Amino acid sequence: MKVFVITGTRKGIGKELSLHFLEQGHIVCGCSRGESSISHPNYRHFELDVNDEQKVVEMIKSIKKEFGSIDVLLNNAGIASMNHILLTPYKTMSNIFSTNVFGSFLFLREVGKVMSNTSRKLKKEGKTPHFRIINFATVATPLRLEGEAIYASSKAAIVNLTQVASFELAEFGITVNAIGPTPVPTDLIKNVPKDKMEALLQRQAIKRFGNFEDCLNVVNFFIDEKSDFISGQVIYLGGVNG
């Protein structure tokens, strides 16, 4: 049984991942801005904004107090907005970076502290630590999509954060990787015009929408204990090259 922290669990990929790992017998601690949409004895829910430093610190302390450690962090929470750069309000950029970048950083930092402390204890006992952090990037970054300058830039920051953190956390047996989904039919893209979506799909090698199973396949690969030698990597779905 592993302890998962998954952000953005009220709907979409975050909720699907939570339900999957709960069904596998693991403990899942999730969060969203609203009430929980998951009812399960092994699920713990926290209402917060992922960019609220105090609330994030309190959440991770609460999880550590109850379960002792954290095995996996899935930094899934994110928001998007499609605007021409000349028509993008400053507030839009601020909101996107606050959630996508600052939120991911806060969870990576706080969960990383718990993992590193546990790692030291395990090494003293002669055990090998296996900790996993997975951030969520996007194909919008390598595709340089028009109208996605702010969203893609926020996820470009996530790519760099992932790569640098993989070096800084490696000594603790923590791997840090990222998954870059192609568009998955969720609320994140519901307001994007169909012609824009179709144009995006045509730039992929595999010209279809992604689905939950596609994302889960990559997540399972990254969290497998056999993937100890895989860190600092970004896997983009749909045949998109980073």
What is residue 189's predicted lDDT score, i.e. its pLDDT? 56
Distance in angstroms (rounded) separating the CA atoms of residues 6 and 28: 7
Amino acid at 238: G
Q: Is 241 a member of any domain?
A: no
What is residue 185's predicted lDDT score, i.e. its pLDDT? 66
Distance in angstroms (rounded) separating the CA atoms of residues 162 and 241: 17
What is residue 93's predicted lDDT score, i.e. its pLDDT? 96
What is residue 132's predicted lDDT score, i.e. its pLDDT? 98
Q: Looking at the 3D structure of the chain, how many domains does it have?
A: 1
Q: Is 242 a member of any domain?
A: no
- Which parts of the chain sit beneath pLDDT 50? none
What is residue 45's predicted lDDT score, i.e. its pLDDT? 98
Q: Is 201 a member of any domain?
A: yes
Tell me which residue range forms the domain holding 140. 3-236
CATH of the domain at 57: 3.40.50.720
Residue 179's DSSP bridge partners are: 136, 235
Q: Is 130 a member of any domain?
A: yes
Q: Which two tokens stand for residue 190?
A: 């519901």
Q: Is 226 a member of any domain?
A: yes
